[in-house]
Structure 1
Amino acid sequence: MPNSLLLLLLVLRAVAGDAAADSADPCAGRRIHIRDLPPRFNTHLLRHCDAAFPLADPSSSVTSAPTCESLANHGLGPRTHARSRSWYRTDARLLEPFFHRRLLERRCLVADPSLADAVFLPYYAALDSIPYVLDPSLLNSSALHGASLAQFLARDRPQILARRHGHDHFMVLGGSAWDHSQPPHAEPRLLGTTSLVRLPEFENFTFLALESRSWPWQEHAIPHPTSFHPASLPRLEAWLARARRSHRTTLMLFAGGVSRPSRPNIRGSILAECANRTDACVVVDCSAGKCSHDPVRYMRPMLGAKFCLEPPGDTPTRRSTFDAILAGCVPVFFEDAAARRQYGWHLPPGRYDEFSVYIQKETVVLGGVKIGETLAAVPDAEVRGMRERALEMAPRVLYRRHGSTAELREAGNDAVDLAVDGALRRIRRRARALEEGQPEGIYAQEDDSVDA
């Protein structure tokens, strides 16, 4: 037998063996140990909620008892109205307790960390950062954010951390990685930021954040939570059917702050163009957090629009992008960092033109390009195709409710499932590199994205 054919036969046998092993053990490579942390690292931090999220719970005060309404339904927030079964007033900053709750439902959890392929840290990092963010007197101490957790991990059963030097650990950040990436010894300190992801004790951890920086291999972006959290397949299908049949009479929509910038930028250009084209453009005023916990304010207009404009704000990414996808409103991006470089586990990398439009912001701000004219020139058939593709991807970017039906779980992976699967792939890759004695492979910028 020729050597090439022999080699091919051996490869096929190995692949078949791996497939047989996986079918015999569905948890192979997927076992997760949820680290048991003292309450001061998670549940006790929920006491900060009233003080930190006054917009989420207007009836509460900083001095009241810790009854923050945003914590209802394990972090999804209260229902939008009494009869709602899928819509909640969700605050994305409480993603950490909700993600923790969802992981407790996963199969393949193991109590023995030595049997685990990955270790999840249920650390409510965004909540733990609140004292440093809100109290100016702690500004110079913000580099200590996460230090007590690092000390605990080094002291309590240190073999768990030492086994793979932290390469098998992952955690979730209910915010942007930029908010926690200030160098520990930076001077002067920036108010509102900490150094969590820059601490050397966490340098090998995987961080799942609502927005990642473009270069650190430790970080990966996961979708901003929307307010839609279905618990059954019929409720998901009913919403998608509504979005498909919605009558769209508006060309484009912008939902965001409406204050005019002091110097030219893409938001100012959008507001100016919409002011001159009220027949074709709808602006939803979301200033001062008006839309944060009131999805009706923007979802109904999105259902009536063909395109949703997604300009960058304080940071490149926006929750509105995922609201638009759920509504079947074709997202319009103005810079690559807004999504194209962020969500490779949830959105199809390299194929954004299938469900979105890209208009370079400089051509609008400085080049005189009109957004409305550009979008009006897109053929209706292409718009329908992009809308359908967006709605096909919608189940991948939403966070279904905890305790959802088996039928919905078996219908496909949601944002949590894809985030965990992506973290497991990264961790397995690093484990192989360590076992093969190739530490440089740990840091290689391999493409671990998965086509949607």
Structure 2
Amino acid sequence: MASTSTVTTLTIFSLLLFFINLTTSQQISTVDSECTDRWIHIRTLPSRFNLDLLSTCNHYPLTDDLCPYLSNHGLGPKTHTRTRSWYRTDPLLLELIFHRRILEYPCLTPDPNLATAVYLPYYAGIDSLRYLYGPDVNSSADHGSDLLSFLKQDSPEIWARRSGQDHFLVMARPAWDFSQPLTVDPPIWGTSFLERPEFFNLTALTLESRFWPWQEQAVPYPTSFHPHSLPFLESWIRRVRRSRRTSLMLFAGGGGTSSTPNIRRSIRMECTSTNVTVTESEIKTCDFVDCSNGICEHDPIRFMRPMLQASFCLQPPGDTPTRKATFDGIIAGCIPVFFEDQTAKMQYTWHLPEEDFREFSVTIAKEDVVFRGVRIADVLMSIPREEVARMREKVIEMMPRVMYRRHGASIGLMSKKDAVDIAIDGVLDKINSRV
């Protein structure tokens, strides 16, 4: 059973959603001229598709207890009492974060016939837990059947108008977790939501895409940084700029302990065997923050200070190509070093434009490191200091694009598009190009 505090959180959140939604609906007429081809209709779903799912936040012993991280509308508890920007955010709660933020979108309409896009506030990633870890694991092909039945039975003309091509939702897990073929028997891993032909037309915002299906688009993992005003963002940027970079490179992560050759093993070996000072500049060659067993996941204090002190942050693939640490590093002004294009370049094309990659990141083929003896430190030390400074400025410039600002932010901060704003722009462009 969920704790009393969790139930209280859900009750308050339900009321707040209602009042914000009501207020937004009453104000839409004031922005008509700015909303041509940008209207969004939020589909009203029964609470079993969203808020009720939050009550299962501690039902799955194989996952972290999500209950402590529901506070602040999914941003989680503050890292310390005096902060107004830093939270212990769990990426799985992006669905809740996005739902709360889209209620502030200025071009909402209660009339689906006027809308360019229809948002489904379905917490697919949280609902998937019962198929991934719970008693329904052997019926994972059923994931989405209840939602589909509702869409076809309740105001069916909304779904039928464009066969779902104008619908979108957020799925706060890698798309692979929703991509088990319908023909697999017995099920191996994941649900079959994205494999259902009925959902091929909708747009799914996932933390990692599979590259080829047209319905998926990767969006940044939420970090712990959620400023509420422009002065707080600018204050952080000033701190990033003046931070003394005492390490050439940093790896914050786990793995790399097996005897099988892989990029994480090579990084760990290089960091532990060459952890010496570069004489002419008095900086450490490599710093290592061991994040094994998820100990860094809700504790940004553990890795953010080392990231602020490093010039480059190594972003090797792990179980899947993408990493939350990519975005943590950008928030710290740490230049990302990628070892395959699938980690970011082929994923976050809306938020990290492909044509800009060489301006803010370094790519070293993992095969060169693992099998050809290339030392990462040698590659990075060969980059001129002036070029490093330019790359860091580009990373800082891109910081607002990958952060999720706090809901209810000031007007000044809202003038800078964040990850939600860019995701909405991308969805609207994608849907407009289709229909």
Could you state the TM-score of these two structures normalised by the residue count of structure 2?
A: 0.89
User: Any conservation in 1 of the 2:228–2:413 contact (CA below 8 Å)?
Assistant: yes
Match of 1:48 in 2: 56
User: Any conservation in 1 of the 2:256–2:262 contact (CA below 8 Å)?
Assistant: no
**Which residue of 128, 148, 171 maps to 1:150?**
148
**Which residue of 424, 427, 437 maps to 2:428?**
424
User: Any conservation in 2 of the 1:56–1:293 contact (CA below 8 Å)?
Assistant: no
1:275 matched to 2:272? The reply is: yes
Match of 2:323 in 1: 318
Question: Bigger shift: 250-259 or 36-45?
Answer: 250-259
| 1: CA distance, partners of 2:397 / 2:314 | 20
**Which residue of 389, 413, 417 maps to 1:413?**
417
1:263 matched to 2:260? The reply is: yes
**Which residue of 139, 152, 173 maps to 1:175?**
173
Displacement of 1:42: 0.3
Question: Bigger shift: 218-227 or 179-188?
Answer: 179-188
Q: Max radius of gyration: which structure? A: 1
Displacement of 1:201: 1.6
| 2: CA distance, partners of 1:127 / 1:348 | 29
Summarize the alignment of residues 158-173 of structure 1 with structure 2, pairs less than 5 Å apart.
158-173=156-171
Summarize the alignment of residues 324-363 of structure 1 with structure 2, pairs less than 5 Å apart.
324-363=329-368
1:25 matched to 2:33? The reply is: yes
Deviations 1:150-184 (A, max 9, x none): 01101101000011111000000111111101112
| Structure 2 counterpart SS, 1:75 | coil
| 2: CA distance, partners of 1:172 / 1:55 | 20
Match of 1:62 in 2: none
> How many pairs are equivalent?
397
For structure 1, which runs of at least 5 residues remain unmatched after alignment? 1-22, 58-66, 432-452
| 2: CA distance, partners of 1:414 / 1:160 | 29
| Structure 2 counterpart SS, 1:413 | coil
Displacement of 1:140: 2.3
Match of 2:136 in 1: 138
| Structure 1 counterpart SS, 2:380 | helix
CA RMSD of aligned residues (A): 1.4
| Structure 2 counterpart SS, 1:210 | strand
| 2: CA distance, partners of 1:41 / 1:225 | 22
| 2: CA distance, partners of 1:235 / 1:152 | 43
1:387 matched to 2:392? The reply is: yes
| 2: CA distance, partners of 1:129 / 1:248 | 42
User: Any conservation in 2 of the 1:56–1:70 contact (CA below 8 Å)?
Assistant: no
Displacement of 1:94: 0.5
| Structure 2 counterpart SS, 1:273 | helix
Displacement of 1:381: 0.7
1:287 matched to 2:284? The reply is: no
User: Any conservation in 2 of the 1:96–1:124 contact (CA below 8 Å)?
Assistant: yes
Deviations 1:116-172 (A, max 9, x none): 11100000001111111113x533200111110001101101000011111000000
Match of 2:93 in 1: 94
**Which residue of 210, 219, 242 maps to 2:216?**
219
| 1: CA distance, partners of 2:325 / 2:358 | 18
**Which residue of 374, 391, 416 maps to 2:379?**
374
Deviations 1:325-355 (A, max 9, x none): 1111110000010101011111121221100
| 1: CA distance, partners of 2:113 / 2:396 | 41
Match of 1:205 in 2: 202
| Structure 2 counterpart SS, 1:252 | strand
Displacement of 1:69: 1.3
CA separation of 1:324/1:53 partners in 2, compared to 1, >3 Å: closer, same or farther?
A: farther
| 2: CA distance, partners of 1:166 / 1:323 | 34
Match of 2:3 in 1: none
Match of 2:108 in 1: 109
Displacement of 1:54: 8.1
Displacement of 1:188: 3.4
| 2: CA distance, partners of 1:53 / 1:344 | 35
User: Any conservation in 1 of the 2:62–2:133 contact (CA below 8 Å)?
Assistant: no
**Identity level (%):** 57
User: Any conservation in 2 of the 1:31–1:108 contact (CA below 8 Å)?
Assistant: yes
CA separation of 1:286/1:47 partners in 2, compared to 1, >3 Å: closer, same or farther?
A: same
User: Any conservation in 2 of the 1:96–1:172 contact (CA below 8 Å)?
Assistant: yes
| 1: CA distance, partners of 2:288 / 2:59 | 31
CA separation of 1:125/1:53 partners in 2, compared to 1, >3 Å: closer, same or farther?
A: farther
| 1: CA distance, partners of 2:130 / 2:187 | 15
Q: Which amino acid in the other structure matches residue 414 of structure 1? A: D
| Structure 1 counterpart SS, 2:404 | coil
Q: Which amino acid in the other structure matches residue 308 of structure 1? A: C
User: Any conservation in 1 of the 2:256–2:263 contact (CA below 8 Å)?
Assistant: no
1:249 matched to 2:246? The reply is: yes
Displacement of 1:56: 5.3
Could you state the TM-score of these two structures normalised by the residue count of structure 1?
A: 0.86
| Structure 2 counterpart SS, 1:152 | helix
| 2: CA distance, partners of 1:249 / 1:243 | 13
Displacement of 1:203: 1.2
Q: Which amino acid in the other structure matches residue 127 of structure 1? A: I
Deviations 1:371-416 (A, max 9, x none): 1111111111111111000000000100000000011102x11000
| 1: CA distance, partners of 2:32 / 2:290 | 54
| 2: CA distance, partners of 1:151 / 1:101 | 25
| Structure 2 counterpart SS, 1:255 | strand
1:73 matched to 2:81? The reply is: no
Match of 1:187 in 2: 185
| 1: CA distance, partners of 2:168 / 2:338 | 30
Q: Which amino acid in the other structure matches residue 129 of structure 2? A: I
| 2: CA distance, partners of 1:311 / 1:84 | 31
| Structure 2 counterpart SS, 1:217 | coil
User: Any conservation in 2 of the 1:56–1:91 contact (CA below 8 Å)?
Assistant: no
